[in-house]
């Protein structure tokens, strides 16, 4: 035993640990300059191996101290210093492993008992709105699928009677479902890959165009695709003030009324609904064998958003066609849809998390640019194809045609407006579209993504779960939804915000101070405390400190306070260790010393 202590407390072991820490500091500091503090914290200082390295340093100092026993008077400073350093390291390690820190956002009148912490967990939501969470790491996991969790009375998933699924369970506890997290990517972006197909593949036209303009500082290449199962607006995009569209040649000459097009996953049309005719729109429009129905369809040629409603403003003389309708499934679950012809991304900015799961593509087509009296503001370039693989282009500014003619691959053509040129890099009749998640390397801001291997109805498949998005998966016995959720920690008390106040500097709107009146309730102790949390004046309770971090005002919900809640059980050790280290240093210089014999 003593031999082990000598090795762990030796100078050579100290040199190894110190060298490792120095290299770590050099590398982490260099990486921090490139990747930022948050990345370094997660990749270095918040890892298990860093805790082990600090633990070895603590063991080295402890063993080197033990080796000096019994201590002499001249070693008092040495002993006190080493005890202080041990206390500092122990306190820091305890803060890392047992400390709690996170944020809590409260609106006036709201009560919460949990904080959000850095990082994410993988959540699984069931039809009855129950949720369970798993640690976000690679590995195998399991959840139970019970009858209660698959209660389809909640409009979360549509379990249809007679769909062939076995609705029985092995026992009263439910059916276990195993899945794996096979990959986790930070700063991930979903990239679309367009691959040319052979002549036997289904028709799916696509054109790759590069827009160039020195005056507009534009140089971007984009794909326009006729059918994309994950992007119903893949045939239209905007780059700067230029709108690019892909259209069939037949529609370039014929006048087209605004229509709502419904297609299946493969791109086959199920219904084409004329929304701009003279006849009143039907109150209910069944969508074939899909089990869905469109109800309450309304057309707004001069649409504008007023509050939470779409209204028609013909006096504005700005053609902005839109449709509003309810998509109703077989269970009667209705979800409101709003589609703007010129702004297909509008609905993606207002996601319907409770929408029924379906494979339908619903596109609103206001007509072809050549036949419309009004088109979106700015330059619009349309690319037309036909069944003989003959391609044409047309550029226009509002109702004025600037340039048109046959399309030539590899040629750059002036659009006829400013110095905008468009270069057609590829024009294909058979393409296959796929998506892959990859880490952004070009400065594009991405998010967190996790790849799951889940045993779905059609066999084990890989599903990507992306930050701030939900991923529904149809299992053999029903549907569940995977999502990435911010990591949370339950508190032994709840906090309610009674009132928030901001005090400005005289004559300005700059905050001199801000404070929050709160009520802290501990149900276990049957205790309720009222207090005020202000800048530099936190509220303390049972080792927790609640700081006023910031505030904001929401037009809908009112004033809100952002609190930082922290609990650091290592603070006493850190304070005591710091004091002892300072005292030990003083003893080293001014304490009793070993006298040496004269030569």
Running DSSP on this structure, what letter comes out for residue 231? -
**Beta strand 379-385 with 242-248: parallel, antiparallel or unpaired?**
parallel
Average pLDDT score over residue span 322-337 = 88
Query: Residue 86 pLDDT > 80, yes or no?
Result: yes
Region 87-110: mean pLDDT is 88
pLDDT at 593: 59
Average pLDDT of the residues in 526-530: 92
pLDDT of residue 251: 47
Q: Taking residues 6-16, report their average pLDDT.
A: 86
Better-scored residue on pLDDT, 69 or 539 = 539
- Looking at the predicted structure, is the pLDDT value of residue 161 above 80? no
d(CA 466, CA 447): 7
Residues 112-122 have a mean pLDDT of: 90
Q: What pLDDT is recorded for position 501? A: 92
How many CB atoms are closer than 10 A to CB 385? 24
Q: Is the pLDDT of residue 353 over 50?
A: no
pLDDT at 343: 73
What pLDDT does 483 receive? Answer: 93
Rounded to the nearest 5 percent, the helix, strand and coil shares of the chain are 20, 45, 35
Residue 108 has pLDDT above 70, yes or no: yes
What CA–CA distance (Å, rounded) separates 496 from 116?
Answer: 16
Backbone angles phi and psi of 62, in degrees to 5: -65, -45
Residue 551: its H or E element: strand 544-554
User: Does pLDDT of 210 surpass 90?
Assistant: yes
**Mean pLDDT along residues 546-570:** 90
Quote the distance between the C-alpha of residue 314 and its chain's center. Answer: 38
**Residue 216 parent element (H or E):** none
Q: Which whole number is the average pLDDT over 425-434? A: 90
The pLDDT assigned to 164 comes to 37
Partners of 522 in the beta sheet? Answer: 527
Q: What angle do CA 426, 205, 320 make, to 5 degrees?
A: 105
Q: 375: pLDDT confidence band, cut at 50, 70 and 90?
A: low
| Least-confidence region, from 59-63, 83-87, 165-169, 423-427 | 165-169
Q: Report percent pLDDT > 90 for the chain.
A: 23
- Which among 267, 214, 274, 264 is positioned nearest to 240, based on CA atoms? 214
Return d(Cα 574, Cα 324) in angstroms, integer.
Answer: 62
Q: How confident is the model at residue 225 (pLDDT cuts 50, 70, 90)?
A: very high
Distances (CA, A) of 352 to 66, 142, 232, 336: 65, 28, 16, 8
Q: E strands of 293-370, at which residues? A: 293-300, 303-306, 309-312, 322-328, 334-340, 361-365
Q: Sign of the C-alpha dihedral, residues 400, 323, 276, 250?
A: positive
pLDDT at 264: 81
**Is there a contact between 216 and 420 (Cβ–Cβ < 8 Å)?**
yes
Residue 70: cis peptide before it, omega within 30 degrees of 0: yes
More confident residue, 77 or 134: 134
CA distances from 251 to 228, 323, 383 (A): 20, 21, 11
pLDDT band, residue 474 (cuts 50/70/90): confident
Residue 472: half-sphere exposure toward Cβ, Cα within 13 Å? 15
DSSP 203: P
Average pLDDT, the chain: 82
Mean pLDDT of 52-67: 88
- Cβ-Cβ contacts under 8 Å for 36 (sequence gap 6 or more): none
Per-residue pLDDT, averaged over 568-586, amounts to 86
Mean pLDDT in residue range 560-582: 89
Name the band, by pLDDT with cuts 50, 70 and 90, for residue 107.
very high
Phi, psi of 242 (to 5 degrees): -105, 125
pLDDT at residue number 318: 66
The enclosing H or E element of 247 equals strand 242-248
Report the SS3 class of residue 444: coil
The pLDDT confidence band at residue 14, using thresholds 50, 70 and 90, is confident
DSSP 45: I
> What is the predicted pLDDT for the residue at 478?
80
- Number of helices (H) and strands (E) in the chain: give both, helices first: 7, 33
In a 13 Å sphere around the CA of 327, the CA atoms on its Cβ side amount to: 22
CA distances from 455 to 157, 422, 483, 590 (A): 18, 46, 17, 72
Contact of 205 with 429, CB cutoff 8 Å:
yes
Segment 510-535 shows an average pLDDT of 91
Q: How far, in Å, CA of 535 to CA of 559, rounded?
A: 17
Q: How far is CA 530 from CA 401, 502, 519, 547, in A?
A: 70, 19, 4, 15
Spatial neighbors of 146 by CB under 8 A, at least 6 apart, are: 169, 173, 174, 175
pLDDT band per the 50, 70, 90 thresholds, residue 330: confident
Average of per-residue pLDDT across 289-297? 89
Check residue 245 and give its pLDDT: 92
Q: Evaluate if residue 155 carries a pLDDT over 60.
A: no
Does 171 have pLDDT greater than 60?
Answer: no
pLDDT at 545: 93
- Contact between 544 and 565 under an 8 Å Cβ cutoff? The reply is yes
Residue 369 has what pLDDT? 42
pLDDT at 394 over 80: yes
CA 311 to chain CA centroid, nearest Å: 32
How far is the C-alpha of 205 from the C-alpha of 385, rounded, in Å? 8
What pLDDT sits at residue 208?
A: 94
Stretch (H or E) spanning 433: strand 431-439
The number of residues in the chain equals 599
- 90 membership: H or E segment, kind and range: helix 76-98
Per-residue pLDDT, 191? 81
Residue % of the chain over a pLDDT of 70: 87
List phi, psi (to 5°) of 419. Answer: -110, 30
Among 527, 523, 520, CA closest to 565: 520
Residue predicted with more confidence, 200 or 161: 200
């Amino acid at each position: 035993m003593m031999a082990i202590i000598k090795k762990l407390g030796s100078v050579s072991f100290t040199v190894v640990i110190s060298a490792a820490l120095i290299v770590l500091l050099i590398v982490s500091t260099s990486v921090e300059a490139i990747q930022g503090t948050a990345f370094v914290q997660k990749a270095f200082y918040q890892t298990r191996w860093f805790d082990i390295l600090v633990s070895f340093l603590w063991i080295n100092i402890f063993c080197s101290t033990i080796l000096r026993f019994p201590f002499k008077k001249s070693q008092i400073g040495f002993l006190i210093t080493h005890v202080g350093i041990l206390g500092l390291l122990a306190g820091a390690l305890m803060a890392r492993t047992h400390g709690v820190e996170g944020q809590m956002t409260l609106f006036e009148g709201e009560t919460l008992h949990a904080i959000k912490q850095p990082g994410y967990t993988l959540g699984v939501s069931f039809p009855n709105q129950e949720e369970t969470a798993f640690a976000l790491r690679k590995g195998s996991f399991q959840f139970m699928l019970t009858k209660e969790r698959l209660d389809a009375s909640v409009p979360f998933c549509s379990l249809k009677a007679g769909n062939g699924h076995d609705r029985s369970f092995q026992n009263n506890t439910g059916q276990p479902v195993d899945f794996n997290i096979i990959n986790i990517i930070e700063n991930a972006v979903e990239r679309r890959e367009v691959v040319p197909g052979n002549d036997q593949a289904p028709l799916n036209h696509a054109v790759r165009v590069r827009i160039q303009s020195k005056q507009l500082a534009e140089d971007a290449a984009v794909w326009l695709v006729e059918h994309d199962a994950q992007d119903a607006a893949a045939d239209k995009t905007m780059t700067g003030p230029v709108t690019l569209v892909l259209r069939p040649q037949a529609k370039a000459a014929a006048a087209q009324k605004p229509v709502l097009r419904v297609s299946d996953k493969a791109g086959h049309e199920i219904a084409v609904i004329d929304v701009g005719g003279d006849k009143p729109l039907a109150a209910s429009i069944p969508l074939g064998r899909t089990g869905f129905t469109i109800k309450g369809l309304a057309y707004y040629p001069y649409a504008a958003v007023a509050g939470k409603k779409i209204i028609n403003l013909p006096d504005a003389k700005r053609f902005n066609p839109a449709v509003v309708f309810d998509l109703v499934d077989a269970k009667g679950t209705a979800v409101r849809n709003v589609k703007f012809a010129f702004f297909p991304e509008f609905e993606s900015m207002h996601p319907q998390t409770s929408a029924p799961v379906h494979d339908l593509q619903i596109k609103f087509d206001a007509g072809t640019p050549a036949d419309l009296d009004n088109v979106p503001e700015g330059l619009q370039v349309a690319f037309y194809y036909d069944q003989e693989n003959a391609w044409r282009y047309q550029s226009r500014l509002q109702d004025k045609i600037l340039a048109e003619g046959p399309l030539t691959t590899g040629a750059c053509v002036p659009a006829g407006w400013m110095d905008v040129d468009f270069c057609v890099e590829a024009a294909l009749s058979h393409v296959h579209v796929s998506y892959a998640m990859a880490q952004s390397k070009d400065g594009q801001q991405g998010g967190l993504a996790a790849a799951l291997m889940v045993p779905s109805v059609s066999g084990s498949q890989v599903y990507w779960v992306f930050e701030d998005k939900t991923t529904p998966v149809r299992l053999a016995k029903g549907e569940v939804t995977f999502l990435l959720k911010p990591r949370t920690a339950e508190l032994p008390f709840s906090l309610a915000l009674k009132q928030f106040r901001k005090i400005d500097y005289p004559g300005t709107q700059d905050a001199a101070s801000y404070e929050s009146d709160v009520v802290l309730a501990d149900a276990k102790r049957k205790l309720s405390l009222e207090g005020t949390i202000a800048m530099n004046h936190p509220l303390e309770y049972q080792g927790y400190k609640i700081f006023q971090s910031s505030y904001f005002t929401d037009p809908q919900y009112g004033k809100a306070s952002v609190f930082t809640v922290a609990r650091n059980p290592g603070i006493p050790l850190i304070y005591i260790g710091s004091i002892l280290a300072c005292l030990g240093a003083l003893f080293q210089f001014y304490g009793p010393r070993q006298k040496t014999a004269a030569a």
